[in-house]
Amino acid sequence: MELFRITRNAWGQETLEGISWDLLPVAFGLGIAIIAGHLVWRALRKRSMGKR
């Protein structure tokens, strides 16, 4: 997985083009992970409070 988009110009020099769009699924996955993690924590907390 690339972190950056890099192109070569007519003289073969590397030019930074921006951040790699390979990271788009990573950002989306991180959002899903935060939501899933909180849902699990929330369910466990509710269960432990119910036992008290």
Partner 1 sequence: MNTPVPLITRHAPVDRVFHWITALAVLLLLASAFLPILGVKFSWVPLHWISGVVLTVAVIFHTIRSTFFRRLKCMLIWPRHLREFAAGKRAAKYTLPQKLMHAVLGFAVLLATATGVVMLAKVDTPFWQRNPYLLEASTWGIVYVLHGAAALAILTLTMAHLYFSLLPEKRAYLRAMIGGQMTREEAAVHHDPARWSGERKHDPRENGT
Q: How far apart are the first and last CA of the chain?
A: 47
Among 1, 8, 10, 27, interactor with partner 1 by CB under 8 A: 27
E strand or H helix that includes residue 24: helix 23-51
Select 16 or 51, whichever has its Cβ closest to partner 1.
16
Please tell me whether residue 38 binds partner 1 under the rule CB under 8 A.
yes
Please tell me whether residue 28 binds partner 1 under the rule CB under 8 A.
yes
Rg (Cα) of the chain, in Å, rounded? 21
Which amino acid is present at 43? A
Footprint of partner 1 on this chain (CB under 8 A)? 4, 9, 15-19, 21, 23-24, 26-28, 30-32, 34-35, 38
